[in-house]
Amino acid sequence: MPSFAPGAWYHVEIPLSLMNPQSVSFRKIVFQNNSQSNLTFYVDNVALVNGTSPTPTPTPAPGPQLQSCTGIMPLGDSITLGVNGGYRNNLYTGLQQNNCGVGYVGTLSDQWTPVADKDHEGHSGLTIGGIAGSVNGWLASTQPDIILLMIGTNDTAWWTAENADQIGARHDALISQLQMARPNAWIFVASIPPQASAIIQPNNIDRAVLTQQFNVVIRTNVDARAAAGQRVRFVDVNSVLTTADLYDGIHPTEAAHAKVAQKFLDAVRAVLGSA
């Protein structure tokens, strides 16, 4: 390791293999040794802390992998129901390529779904609380091994006296409820799609802003669970959608659901033992 004399300025370049573990766009350090003795410089760990880069997602703790993709419950509101099957179509055909025995479970069946498996648990109009009030019965009757949770749009789109943290706390409690009922299931938790701007009462807040704030809370909570070794993973559906993908300012179009499906497909494949 080189030593640096007191009182001098130095421009130090470090190889990208050391300095760039997360593809950050710099590798040069400029500093002055203000001490009274030589300074020895060591590179141990590097993180970008300038405030313009998102906080990196914690690395999930290692755990058992999925060996099959049977018993998938798509759980949520009208967005899970979707347009003519919504994201469930492309996810189903994508998982067929993994030969993992893909199969949906749910107490509902959608006749407009073109793929063979039409089961789901997408309930139009339901909030987080609406899902929490009935989900134990649905889980008991269908016994899912994989749960795809996307809920919260009806908590943010129309009327709310809560802020994002309060809505997020109820959402996180729902995840715990799912874990209690199905302790060995994998739970893939999605951010909710963007929403067209509109002021909602009584908080007098733009629902587009509230949606983004809520999604930050979801990600923080789910990443913490994954880092602790829980069978929970974050699926950033919001990141692949814009308001141009919505047919009414709230619901994704049939074409946009293909983007949602790909995010779920990537997440499930990441923990599939056969992938």
DSSP 51-89: SSSPPPPPPPPP-PPBS---SEEEEESHHHHTTTTTHHH
Q: What pLDDT band is residue 272 in, cutting at 50, 70 and 90?
A: confident
Question: CA 16, 22, 27, 33 torsion: positive or negative?
Answer: negative
**Arithmetic mean of pLDDT, 139-159:** 97
Torsion of CA 14, 18, 19, 21, to 10 degrees: 160
Residue with tokens 């400029």: 30
DSSP 8-state symbol, 267? H
Torsion of CA 207, 80, 61, 44, to 10 degrees: -40
DSSP 8-state symbol, 104? B
Q: What is the pLDDT of residue 67?
A: 74
Asked if 119 and 109 touch (Cβ cutoff 8 Å), the reply is yes
**Arithmetic mean of pLDDT, 189-212:** 96
Asked if 76 and 257 touch (Cβ cutoff 8 Å), the reply is no
Take residue 223 and report the two structure tokens written for it. Answer: 């990443």
Q: Is the pLDDT of residue 33 over 90?
A: no
**Arithmetic mean of pLDDT, 15-20:** 39
Asked if 271 and 66 touch (Cβ cutoff 8 Å), the reply is yes
Q: What is the pLDDT of residue 45?
A: 40
Q: Could you report the per-residue pLDDT of 201-229, keeping only the tens digit for each?
A: 999 999 999 999 999 999 999 999 999 99
Alpha-carbon distance 26 to 20, whole Å?
A: 7
Specify the higher pLDDT residue, 94 or 17: 94
Burial class (CB in 10 A: 0-12, 13-18, 19+), 48: middle
DSSP 8-state symbol, 203? T
Q: What pLDDT band is residue 41 in, cutting at 50, 70 and 90?
A: very low
Q: pTM, whole model, 2 decimals?
A: 0.77
Alpha-carbon distance 69 to 61, whole Å?
A: 21
Q: What number of H helices and E strands is found in the chain?
A: 8, 13
Q: What is the pLDDT of residue 6?
A: 52
